[in-house]
Amino acid sequence: MHHTKFETKSNRVKGLSFHNTRPWILASLHNGVIQLWDYRIKCLVQKYEEHIGPVRGINFHGTQPLFVSGGDDNRIKVWNYKKHRCLFTLQGHLDYIRTVQFHPGEQPWILSSSDDQTIRIWNWQSRTCVGVLTGHNHYVMCASFHPREDIVVSASLDQTVRVWDISGLRKKTVAPKAFAETEAQRLQSDLFGGTDALVKFVLEGHDRGVNWAAFHPTAPFIVSAADDRQVKLWRMSDTKAWELDTFRGHFNNVSCALFHPKYEVVISNSEDKTIRIWDQNKRIGLQTIRRDIDRFWILAAHPTQNLLAAGHDSGLVMFKLSSERPGFTTTPTQLVYTANSVLRLYDFTVSRDVPLLHLKKNVLAGPIISQPSSISYSPADASVVVCYKIDGGYYELYTIPRDGRNIEGVEAKRMSNVLGAVFIGRKRLLTLDKASRQLVVRDLTNVEVKRINAVSPTVDQLFPGPMAGTVLLRAEDKVILYDVEQRKCLAELTINGVRAVVWSQPKNTHVAFLTKDMVVITTRNLEQTCAAHEIIRIKSGAWDENGVFLYSTLSHLKYLLPNGDNGIVRTLDIPLYVTSIRGNKVICLDRECKNRVVAVNPTEYLFKLALVQHRYSDVMSMIQSANLLGQAIIGYLQSKGFPEIALQFVHDDATRFTLALECGNIDVALESAKALNNKESWLKLAAAALRQGNHQVVEMAYQRTKDFSRLAFLYLITGNTEKLSKMLAIAKKRNDVEGEFHTALYLGDLQDRLTVIADVANMPNFARTVAQIHGLHNTVEELDSKYPSSSTVPKYTPPSAPTLLLPPMPVMRSFDSNWPLLTVSKGWQDALHAAEESSKFTPEATTAAPADQPEGGWADSAVPEELAEAPEIKEEVAQTVAPVASEGDGWVIEGLEDIPDVQPTTTTAATPSGKFYSPPTPGISAREFWLRNSTLAIDHAASSSFGSAMKLLTEQVGVVNFAPLQQNFVFAAIGSHCVVPGIGSLYGMTTPLHRNTTELNPTHGGGSASTGLPALCVSGGVAPLAERLKLAYNSFTKGAFSEALGQFQSLLTSILVAVVNSKQDVDELKELIEICREYIIGITLEVKRKEIAQAKGDAARQIELAAYFTHCNIQLFHLTLVLRSAMNCAYQLKNFGTAMSFAKRLLELNPKPDVATMAQKIIRLAEQNSTNASKLNYDERNPFSLCCISFTPIYRNTPSVSCPFCRASYLPKNLTSDTTSTCTICGLSSPTMQSVTGLQVSKSR
């Protein structure tokens, strides 16, 4: 059984080459393009397009970043894939170049074969031809070096295979001077071949041209493939070569054949569209891999891994002959696994590995090692069942010898046509019958005890359940938790392609489901808690003792936390399969079935787990003892709302400053701002300090930035008139007219303002008016004498009772101390405070004044000289939370001494210090409970968590366009609460509404509010959707297609936010999705057809669109309308044969008499003339789906992609790789997102 690992779609592939170490493969195409693919992450790395015409030969260098190509343009090009360009071109061949190859050893040679009947050897360092091998008298189709010896094998259409000795060329390379050639000798060797390479053997036996020949990697064998449809095996010695055997079975020309690097098999491919696997020793066929429409042209084998690749007419396919995943199962202390057909047991506690018994070898598998698909172990019964997928599926039941002896003679109880088997209790084995899909309970003698009817016709695998008597059943798109004793389904989880199930031992409280590229973690009741997607294959996983799931991919070991956070633990050099985790050691199996112990550093994920579980003392302990550094940890803490903790890691001043502002730590921010000493930092610090009322830090920041206007306003609001007066003097010294005027205005100093207006600003008339307004008659007279008024200035009449305008003064002058703040219990921050006592940033260190603080705030060197006369500010910067000062006389209240003491009737919570009020810690909101209790997207939207709602829909059905859902989300969030009006100016009280009120009612045995679910105003179940479907049907019947289209698309949007409770309702929603999809496709086809008809466009396209509409799965009455329209369209456009076909289908539906009469007339006319004026891309007898971009048929066995939500089909070539492109039918999901879990519309489904 082969395993396809990677497949591409492209032009015909003529050449392939694996890279020795990187996960890369080169493919040369018939259109002249060379593609470099990364098969691990399945993406195209680079394209090279300098060849003209097909490129038939391609090969990677073994150690250098080079590859060589040869094509039909007679050129050999050497490329550097790091520089992404061609380095140079070798010319000399006179016809098409078939193959090129670097020397596998240390020689700087390139071997090429060509249709000019020659083989050439080139020195790619000197860029010259060093040898020409002549002797073939037809096209040389292939030539390759021996892996170790100085020989070359070639195949030609002259029906021969030749082996060449090139040892003379090596000698010539080692001592070039001794073998120097003249120009005449070089010309003769180019024309007739030289003596450096001699023919050693000529192998004749094929009846037609030979297309390929290859050496065995270790043994003296040669395999050849020819147009006589045969594959021949040859053996050679030092003196002769002879034919061993012939493999027959291909039905067309055999294009390529090679030896497998690990197994003793031969692989060949042919133009008969098959790849065949042959047993090298028994000379029989083992497997056949077929394609429907593509011929195979080339094969390539990875030099070190079990990977094969084949090129065909429409791309390449990469596959393995067998799975390399070792079969194993674990208990809390033991590992049971297979290695080299031996069942072994590894004890995790003592690291001891012992053999248990020898397994029976599968004879039909031949030399290919077939690993078990699953193993189930019952320690109490000392029994093990080993399952295989080959030969239609079978299992072998073994009883392990108690004394450990005679392990080779253990008899196996075998059962065929079985898809799986697991132990479900003592002496009870549950198997899955392949034919009937029934569950069969057997005893340890393999005798049937009872049989259970099929739970689902698509069940194809069994996995162990959380307790005895339960089992997990894998169906087509879900996993079912089934109770064997009660014969009922306990829970279901929608998930596709589960490959492995890992329970959190020993209590089995959680389970991890592993698919090809996704990990899903659920509770034991299959309620999903989190999921993680990967772009490369997931191999295995295990739980550690802290409840963290570790899993391995092809190149990494990763972790997944219960809240969905994941990350990389370490990189892996080779693929490993995790079996157990013991502290900082991960025990794994490699592909050689050997146990390996990998050391890891669990600090990162344990740190994050402690944050998730609110174990803040452990968090601080890790900060102090572990080396947790890096932007990743800092960014994680910021994103999770823990900037205070991130502050403990950082030493960079800029990052520390940002984090300190985010968490409100003004002291640390001040220290960092002084180190940065830039204007931007000081302004940010001033804004943050002002919000906390720490105006002394604000004052320092404004001083450092020389922001005099803000500084003056700060003195105004704090009531510091003394410093405000100094600011007026500074403004005068700086000749700052605007600043002087504003400061005088703040102080209410009218004389200074008049001086500025009259003298400095030179506006005496304005100064005179200001003086008149304030009733300063003496000043008006002085101004009149000093500045005679102009006759053009209008005379101002002052008010009858002028008063002096003064700015309002602060009620409380607080410039001596910062504004007091309310001390509030910070919850988890209290734990941090306790740990901070021994940390670097202690409260004493951050509270104390910096050492470089001058005696006066104005004496700092950064402050301008004009501030030297200003009064000093305090030497130390006050703390963010100012200490409470003792009460002054103004707060003494008399007359309360005689009030008697009254004992309190209730107990009140003491405040932390006896001085400050500490409000109680808020409880968990109903929104938070709703998020915890449900994985439905609409419940998250009702909780106002729109981000998680969108993430759920993306993971479930690949939704990328959320605009149509905006109204539903907003209405759900609003409708899940009611507001009780408050009194006066108070806000109303918001109360959550639950839809499971009966379950929450204690009088009915209900639980607490922690199990509540939000009431939904946007989801009324299936009934409202059915009513809306009737309206859409009516619009369709009336021919209001635009209206019907909107109604059907609105229905699809509503299904995303629907919530139902029964399995029947779930099935009805699935059916509704299909109905909407079919009608939307049909309406789109009809609209496009009418547009073409109005424009008098392509007649054939009109008929095609009408014909496709008739294959939509719609109501019979509506199908009558569609067939009638298609019949008329085809008849009017002279496609009488097509019209007759539509008419016959229409009569089968028993239409109205007038419609039936018209159909019969068309049939009679078409029988006389059944010609079609237009050729259509339409075959009514061949079932097809429709590509919803090009609106062309997708027939069976044609690759297609479907929308993860509405299941609309698409041709892959019509899709882009952009994951944000939406489905043309539903307008919600992206067809490129295929790794989805399925829509969840019920808590249990």
pLDDT tens across 789-830, in order? 654 555 666 666 666 666 766 666 666 677 766 554 454 555
Average of pLDDT values for 119-128? 94
SS3 category, 454 = coil
- pLDDT range class, residue 922, cuts 50, 70, 90: low
> What's residue 24's pLDDT?
94
Q: Give 464's strand partners.
A: 471
- pLDDT range class, residue 409, cuts 50, 70, 90: confident
The per-residue pLDDT for range 745-788, each reduced to its tens digit, is: 887 777 777 777 776 656 777 777 777 777 677 777 777 777 77
Percent of the chain whose predicted confidence (pLDDT) is above 90: 37
| Statement: residue 1179 has pLDDT above 90 | no
- pLDDT range class, residue 866, cuts 50, 70, 90: very low
What's the CA gap between 853 and 866, in Å, rounded?
19
The per-residue pLDDT for range 424-451, each reduced to its tens digit, is: 988 899 999 988 889 999 998 889 999 9
| Statement: residue 983 has pLDDT above 70 | no
Contacts 24+ apart (CB under 8 A), 619-627: 619/645, 619/832, 620/645, 620/648, 620/831, 620/832, 620/834, 620/835, 620/836, 620/839, 621/835, 623/648, 623/649, 623/835, 623/839, 624/835, 624/838, 624/839, 627/603
What's the CA gap between 524 and 467, in Å, rounded?
10
pTM for this model (two decimals) = 0.61
> What's residue 1015's pLDDT?
84
- pLDDT range class, residue 362, cuts 50, 70, 90: low
**Bigger pLDDT: 1024 vs 1:** 1024
> What's residue 728's pLDDT?
83
- pLDDT range class, residue 1215, cuts 50, 70, 90: confident
What's the mean pLDDT when you consider all of the chain? 82
Count the alpha carbons within 13 Å of 634 in the hemisphere toward its beta carbon.
Answer: 15
Strands 374-378 and 352-358: unpaired
How many CB atoms neighbour CB 735 within 10 A? 9
Low-confidence winner among 99-108, 519-528, 1175-1184 (lowest mean pLDDT): 1175-1184
- CB-CB contact of 956 with 949 (8 Å): no
> What's residue 865's pLDDT?
40
Gap between the terminal Cα atoms of the chain:
34
- pLDDT range class, residue 57, cuts 50, 70, 90: very high
- pLDDT range class, residue 109, cuts 50, 70, 90: very high
| Statement: residue 897 has pLDDT above 60 | no
> What's residue 859's pLDDT?
34
| Statement: residue 174 has pLDDT above 80 | no
**Bigger pLDDT: 877 vs 615:** 615
The per-residue pLDDT for range 513-571, each reduced to its tens digit, is: 999 989 999 999 999 999 999 988 899 999 999 999 999 998 899 999 988 889 999 99
- CB-CB contact of 440 with 431 (8 Å): yes
**Bigger pLDDT: 649 vs 883:** 649
Q: What is the chain's length? A: 1245
The per-residue pLDDT for range 1073-1131, each reduced to its tens digit, is: 999 999 999 999 999 999 999 888 888 899 999 999 999 999 888 999 999 999 999 88
Average of pLDDT values for 205-226? 95
- CB-CB contact of 160 with 204 (8 Å): yes
How many CB atoms neighbour CB 754 within 10 A? 23
**What single-letter DSSP state applies at residue 890?**
G
Q: At what angle do helices 1099-1109 and 1063-1094 cross, to 10 degrees?
A: 160
Amino acid (1-letter code) at residue 723: K
Average of pLDDT values for 1042-1055? 91
SS3 category, 889 = helix
DSSP 788-801: PPPTTSPPP---SS
The per-residue pLDDT for range 4-47, each reduced to its tens digit, is: 888 999 999 999 999 999 999 999 999 999 999 999 888 999 99
Percent of the chain whose predicted confidence (pLDDT) is above 70: 83
| Statement: residue 691 has pLDDT above 80 | yes
Average of pLDDT values for 666-682? 88
Low-confidence winner among 256-260, 661-665, 774-778 (lowest mean pLDDT): 774-778
